[in-house]
Amino acid sequence: MPKVKYDIAPEHYIIPNDLDITNKSYIYGEVNPQNIIDIIKDVSGIQECKHFIDIGSGCGRLVTQMSANFPNMLCTGIEIHKARYETSLKILNETLETDHGRVEFEWDDYNNHYFGNYDVLYCCNVIFSKEDNDKLYEKIFREFSGYLLLYNYSFDLAPYIKKSFTVQCSWDNNVNIYLFHI
């Protein structure tokens, strides 16, 4: 199992905000990765999943730590902000001490990716606009089957809620996140 260094330098999170200025849906926030890892370890069935995707993976900390904790899971991060994507590659090379072939980062819009290739989907969609969230929900219903971790959800997703949790994020220590199974 790869070993992850948890003392990532703070300068990796000081990123130019050129996209943040032009679209409020790109504002950066980060979850404590251990909280998500604990959720997955706590809920029966998720540990057997094979493909994890983080939509809006930022600097990639969650993706690299997921890979280190779940050695049978392929982990993908999709990030639209180029500087954050580049930082995720740098952090990946600095933090994983062994082969990191189970981790991939892509600089792209999540709309260009088929969700049916994944069975665990995480998205910090609390920062998405209503329009962006509506597009995300439509894409989930159209393409996704598996476990879903979201901060906000539509009325249509409510029947699929399995459990809610409180996680620590960069903006607050008590943020609700919801686990769905579709």
pLDDT digits (tens, 9 = 90+) for 32-84: 999 999 999 999 888 889 999 999 998 888 998 998 899 889 999 999 989 98
Higher-pLDDT residue of 96 and 25 is 96
Whole-number pLDDT of residue 97: 57
Longest Cα–Cα distance of the chain, Å, equals 43
Of the candidates 157, 182, 177, which has an alpha carbon nearest to the alpha carbon of residue 35?
A: 177
For residue 27, pLDDT over 60 is answered with no
Terminal CA-to-CA distance of the chain, rounded, Å?
Answer: 30
pLDDT at 125 (0 to 100): 92
CATH architecture of 28-181: 3-Layer(aba) Sandwich (3.40)
Asked if pLDDT for residue 94 goes beyond 50, the answer is yes
Mean pLDDT of the region 12-35: 58
pLDDT digits (tens, 9 = 90+) for 98-143: 555 689 999 999 999 999 999 999 999 988 899 999 999 999 999 9
- Shortest CA distance to 120 belongs to which of 63, 172, 158? 63
pLDDT for position 163: 95
- Helix (H) or strand (E) holding 89, with range, is helix 82-95
pLDDT for residue 169: 87
Q: Is the pLDDT of residue 5 over 70?
A: no
Higher pLDDT, 158 or 15: 158
Q: If we measure between CA atoms, which residue out of 170, 93, 164, 181 comes closest to residue 127? A: 170
The residue extents of the domains of the chain are 28-181
pLDDT at residue 8 is higher than 70: no
Most confident region among 5-14, 76-85, 90-99 by mean pLDDT:
76-85
Identify which of 181, 170, 172 has the alpha carbon closest to the alpha carbon of residue 61. 170
